[in-house]
Amino acid sequence: MRKFEYLSVALFSAQALACTPPAGFVNPPLPDIAPLEQMLSHTETRNIDRPLASVMQGASRPLEQAIRPTKDLPGVSGTYRLSDGPYGTVGARRLVCLTDGNVAVEEVLLTESGETTNRFRYVVWNYTNPKFDDVSHAVGEFIRTQPEPGKTRVSWTYRFELKPGRDREVFRKEFLETIFAEWMRNVLGIGHSTTEAASR
């Protein structure tokens, strides 16, 4: 491993260790998740010239390596386990610490795997970042398929349920389809680059 790679690993390890529940934090109950078809949604897709198995290896890296800041939204600085067992199984929960000092809570809702498909769904809530003030909870879902050997299609959908009385169209136009969509594309771009580099 080269020197800069050692430094990168050390940095991410330090960030992950720094993620702890803030003072007064109470592990919140799972929200009453709205019907998915009624939630505001946005989908980003990416085609990767690698088999599904390689893409899934890249998807298992620490969250702080996968989600970096954009000009409008923070990245992830680390995670803190809030449930027993490894993250990735249904019911597993973790605190997500962000690079701006805010936090959110995330829990796995569904995971399905096959030779040519993988599906992973999770809910995020308890946002402390004021840019998510309108949000009751959000459901993210990755669907990865291998339409032919050596090629994988990644489809990532985020669905938002807003708090009562919030303007859905303003949220869609001024946040979901602009600021948040850019953030999603940035995350997918990092994942693509990581997969390509690991497969060389």
Q: Which residues of the chain have pLDDT under 50?
A: 1-16, 196-200
Domain boundaries defined on the chain: 35-199
What local confidence, expressed as pLDDT, does residue 59 receive? 85
| 35-199 carries CATH number 3.30.450.20 | no
What pLDDT sits at residue 60?
A: 84
Q: Which residues pair with 48 in a beta bridge?
A: 152
What pTM was computed for the model?
0.87
Q: Which pLDDT does position 15 carry in this prediction?
A: 43
